[in-house]
Amino acid sequence: MTHKEEAEERSYEHWATVVSNKAIEIFGKKQVVATGWAPSGYYHIGNFKEAVTCRAIHRELISLGADSYYLLNIDDVDPFEKIPAFFKEYGKLLKPYLGHAISEVPDPLGCHDSYAEHFIADALAIMNDFDVNPDPILTSKLYEEGKYYRYAKLFLEKREEMYELTEEITGSKMEDFFLIQCPKCNNLSAPKIIDYKFIEDKIKVEILCQKERRGCGQKSSLILGETIWKIKWRLDWAARQDFLGVTVESSGKDHGVSGGSIDSSLAIHERIFGKSKLPMLITHGFLTFGGKKLSGSTGSGLPVSKFPSILDPSIFLYKIYRTNLRTDTDFKVEMDVPGVASDYDLAEELYYKERDIEHKKTKEKTVKAYELALMAEPFEEKPIRMNYGQLVTFLQVYLFDEEQVIETLKAKEIIPFNISNRDLQLLKDRIQRAKFWIENYASNNFKFSVVKNPKCDIVKLLDLPVLKELYMALQNLPENYQGDSITQYLYEIAKEKEIKPGNFFRSIYQIVLAQKSGPRAGTLIDVLGK
């Protein structure tokens, strides 16, 4: 753990509260929270983590009485540098556009006006699924509106300071400040500026479209703004934060390294723009799936758009909000889903005061994370929840028959007979998600099918005395025992009879499932009936 992570762990306040209070202390009530994304590939988990993190801060600012505006900067002037693996078959069509602005590259699938737009619609829909609704602002629009022009002039006027600053921070001098589209071949990343001069309030540039960078070799003379242009990334970032009045922006930890883009941006705010109040450029930990940082351009792994088919989006939000800001989270989709859902249910009990815990810090952070994860007004009364993991067992025993599962849950008084329509709907939603998870993602440890007629040879393999004790134990199983209390009961008996509990449980799995392991024995017996 780093110092910052340790301090966060010690804090009694949720990170969203800490960041928001500090932002209000610096900037007062008017707040602008920003997140950014370049639509050069599918919206991925890293982008998602950033937007979701900023959503929490935006919400917390509002709940602390600030007037917060949440924006998403969509950088559609990014040059198209690489044909992603998932568009490999369109290589011929896309190759001539390498180096062009993604807003000018065609959509190979033909369903949108440009390559960039193909990904934008999808990203906004995903964000909306998670109640992340920043105001989308296209970088191309900001350039068209001339928002960046005075920064271009400023950077050129202060070029010596800029050289010094970039060299001091990054270790290498930034040669060119801009990307300028070649008027002949439209390439954005190939031209190099060979000369410039100020003509009244405009900048006249001489550019050479470099052949070695896929350019056409043409020299051109033009007024900056006659073709697409862009201030290079770190400078563009600072300029945008300045004219949009950004007060808080979160980025992945990699941006926060010494000499990274955050250092550069802050130095530009301070030394080039001459500001004393610097935006809060915070960093968040990585979210990975099975150890992999998913990349939008390779398109590997579980797409963010699939999350809501596995878990209620609020549960995902809760998982992120209950984790420290700077701590990395790895989510193993094949294993972690029932546990994450169960943590959420416990937080809900705490929020509705159906449960209490002594540890004040844990309690406050849990309740705040639950509140922030809500996607609508909270219900008046706590909804009835059916444990996700138990549901996974019920569904497999009853061969995914939703009606039969619900009837059984009622008969076993796990859910009330007069369950409200709202809670019944929540249960049905969870059933659909659990089913989708088992069928598509769950590890084999969670999957089983009940054996109709146990094979004699399996029974023969079992230890007869163990089997006898098991039979007796089940005969004497008290009626009111359910789930884990059954597991506990079997455990006690095994100990009493000096049988290894593992052998006891293995016998159950072998008889019922014809496999060596399975779901919790108590739950299984409970679901099957004694």
Residues found near Zn ion in the complex (CB under 5 A):
107, 109, 111-112, 118, 182, 184-185, 187, 209, 215-216, 218
In whole angstroms, how close is the CB of 213 to Zn ion at the nearest point?
10
In whole angstroms, how close is the CB of 78 to Zn ion at the nearest point?
17
In whole angstroms, how close is the CB of 108 to Zn ion at the nearest point?
8
Q: What is the CA angle 99-105-108, rounded to 5?
A: 125
Contact 321, 56 (CB under 8 A): yes
Distance between start and end Cα atoms, the chain:
48
Which ranges in 415-463 belong to alpha helices (H)? 421-440, 456-461
Q: Residue 373's closest CA among 10, 12, 24, 52?
A: 52
Pick 122 or 328: Cβ nearer Zn ion = 122
Give me the half-sphere count of Cα atoms (radius 13 Å) on the Cβ side of residue 107: 14
Buried-exposed string 390-406: b where 16+ CB fall within 10 A, e elsewhere: bbbbbbbbbebeeeebb
Pick 107 or 364: Cβ nearer Zn ion = 107
Pick 185 or 451: Cβ nearer Zn ion = 185
Nearest-angstrom CA–CA distance, 32 and 70: 6
Q: Which tokens hold the place of 433?
A: 């998600």
Nearest-angstrom CA–CA distance, 510 and 527: 16
Pick 17 or 187: Cβ nearer Zn ion = 187
Pick 107 or 345: Cβ nearer Zn ion = 107
Pick 35 or 187: Cβ nearer Zn ion = 187
DSSP category for residue 413:
T
Burial (CB count within 10 angstroms: exposed 0-12, middle 13-18, buried 19+), residue 322: buried
Pick 118 or 240: Cβ nearer Zn ion = 118
In whole angstroms, how close is the CB of 299 to Zn ion at the nearest point?
14
In whole angstroms, how close is the CB of 187 to Zn ion at the nearest point?
5
Contacts of residue 134, defined as CB under 8 A and 6 or more positions apart, other chains included, come to 33, 35, 51, 54, 55, 58, 70, 71, 72, 127
Nearest-angstrom CA–CA distance, 16 and 318: 13
In whole angstroms, how close is the CB of 180 to Zn ion at the nearest point?
10
Contact 214, 190 (CB under 8 A): yes
Q: What would the 3-class secondary structure string for 117-134 be?
A: HHHHHHHHHHHHHCCCCC
In whole angstroms, how close is the CB of 44 to Zn ion at the nearest point?
17
Contacts of residue 17, defined as CB under 8 A and 6 or more positions apart, other chains included, come to 60, 64, 368
Pick 118 or 430: Cβ nearer Zn ion = 118
In whole angstroms, how close is the CB of 52 to Zn ion at the nearest point?
25
Run of H or E residues at 37: strand 30-37
In whole angstroms, how close is the CB of 304 to Zn ion at the nearest point?
17
In whole angstroms, how close is the CB of 41 to Zn ion at the nearest point?
13
Nearest-angstrom CA–CA distance, 150 and 54: 28
In whole angstroms, how close is the CB of 217 to Zn ion at the nearest point?
7
Q: Which tokens hold the place of 18?
A: 């800490």
Q: Which tokens hold the place of 223?
A: 């007024």
Pick 85 or 109: Cβ nearer Zn ion = 109
In whole angstroms, how close is the CB of 205 to Zn ion at the nearest point?
14
Pick 178 or 331: Cβ nearer Zn ion = 178
Pick 209 or 470: Cβ nearer Zn ion = 209
Q: What is the CA angle 50-53-58, rounded to 5?
A: 120
Contact 287, 244 (CB under 8 A): no
Pick 109 or 399: Cβ nearer Zn ion = 109
Quote the radius of gyration of the chain (alpha carbons, Å). Answer: 29
Looking at residue 514, its amino acid is: A
